[in-house]
Structure 1
Amino acid sequence: MAPNYKLIYFDAPGRAETIRYIFAVAGVEYEDYRFPKEKWPELKKEMPFGKVPVLEIDGRQVAQSNAIARYLAKQFGLAGKSDWEALQSDVLVDTLEDLKMSMMGPMREQDPIRKEEQKVKVMKEVVPYYLSKFEKIVSENGGFSVGSELTWSDLAFAVSLDYFEQVYGGDALRPYPALKGLKDKVHALPAIADWIAKRPPAPAKP
């Protein structure tokens, strides 16, 4: 009997979206439980480590977005065709996480001058450093991040690159055609295109 899945997250794409992409590609039903930010202080007390996303599997809660995604990828045949490919997917997703954390740095800076300096450095040095390396890997790998077929790391890249374009403009990936091609290829998958068409719109920022 198939497990019952319930994904708990804010009413936004965020860290839950790669998990949603995995469910979509796998064609597996789940409860996409979204809650408004006002409800978080109370709901936080019920989460294993006080953070989301959390996935309930037959009522048992597990935390950490990448751990959840990696587990589901293994269950649904999206973790690569070998242990080596699975390892490479982990490496790329974790490195993508390093880039995200670097990009978050300026947002936490309170001093406006240092904030702007950090922002410029991230965009001129850090982002090109990582994206150029990812670009080389995808280009040399025939359009996939790992192996010769879709893996969960492709889905993670598609989610992050889509957000990157939303924040920095539609031309942000022009220097990285292989990465843009990967994102477009994932979004052209019927299951993903269907999910994007029907998913709730992200709440407008105040």
Structure 2
Amino acid sequence: MASKPRLHYFSGRGRMESIRWLLAAAGVEYEEEFIKEKEDWGCEKLRKDGSLLFQQVPMVEIDGMKMVQCRAILNYIAAKYKLCGKDLKENALKDHGQDYLVGNRFSRADVQLLEVILMVEELKPDVLSKFPLLKTYKGRISNIPTIKKFLQPGSARKPPTDEKEYAECIKIFY
């Protein structure tokens, strides 16, 4: 059995949150190694062995690779777990079905749109009040079993970044 993906980032949402969402949508369990101190960010071992390409995080260890760059990581996960269209034309979003954004199946696009909707609702709870189709869409995607599990209290989903967490992040990365 392959080992679980290992995520390297600080404990907040940031650029890793979309990766967490996509892995959760695929039903993939993962481990996280949080960067808590500036010395962790230095990650001398990771830097010396070449793991931190461009000296940056997030980094995901998956299938024997150490990947950085969010878009590359998301593309890899979407392709590996078939959370994308069945071909390149479907991935371009031209033809979609009734229930999903790509083709007629659940995909990375659905996951990322739901993530954005929920983040905006945290700031403005009634944002969907004038958009009944988006409200219905949100309900439908939120009830997909893997997504529903990720939305439950106690899941790996991170809460909104507060002032304390923001200050910690600044202390680590700057």
- Tell me the CA shift for residue 4 of structure 1: 4.2
Match of residue 111 from structure 2: 155
Shift of 1:14: 2.9
Give aligned pairs, total. Answer: 156
The structure carrying a bigger helix percent of its residues is 1
The one-letter code of the counterpart of 1:2 is A
Cα distance in 2, alignment partners of residues 33 and 145 from structure 1: 33
Alpha-carbon distance in 1 for matches of 2:20, 2:80: 14
- Counting only pairs closer than 5 Å after superposition, residues 100-115 of structure 1 correspond to structure 2 as none
Q: Give ranges in structure 1 of 5+ residues lacking alignment.
A: 90-136
The partner residue of 1:196 within 124, 139, 151 is 151
Whether contact under 8 Å (1:6, 1:31) holds in the other structure is yes
Q: Cα–Cα, structure 1 residues 14 and 182, in superposed 2: closer, same or farther, change >3 Å?
A: farther
Which of 127, 139, 142 does residue 184 from structure 1 map onto?
Answer: 139
Alignment of 1:86-97 (within 5 A): 86-88=91-93
Q: Which has the higher contact order (CA 8 A, sep 6+)?
A: 2
Q: Which residue of 1 aligns with 2:163?
A: 205
CA distance in 1, matches of 2:32, 2:146: 16
What percent of counterpart residues are identical? 29
Q: For the residues of structure 1 that align with 2:102 and 2:71, how far apart are their CA atoms?
A: 17
Deviation for aligned residue 1:175: 2.8
* TM-score normalised over the length of structure 1: 0.63
TM-aligned CA deviation for residue 36 of structure 1 = 3.2
User: Partner residue of 2:31?
Assistant: 31
**RMSD of aligned Cα (Å):** 2.8
Aligned pairs for 1:166-185 (under 5 A) are 166-167=122-123, 169-185=124-140
| Secondary structure of the corresponding residue to residue 56 of structure 1 | strand
Instruction: Please say if residues 143 and 181 of structure 1, whose CA atoms lie closer than 8 Å, have aligned partners that are also in contact.
Output: no
Deviation, structure 1 residue 152? 0.6
Label 1:6 to 1:189 Cα distance change in 2 as closer, same or farther (>3 A): same
Cα displacement (A) at 1:59? 4.8
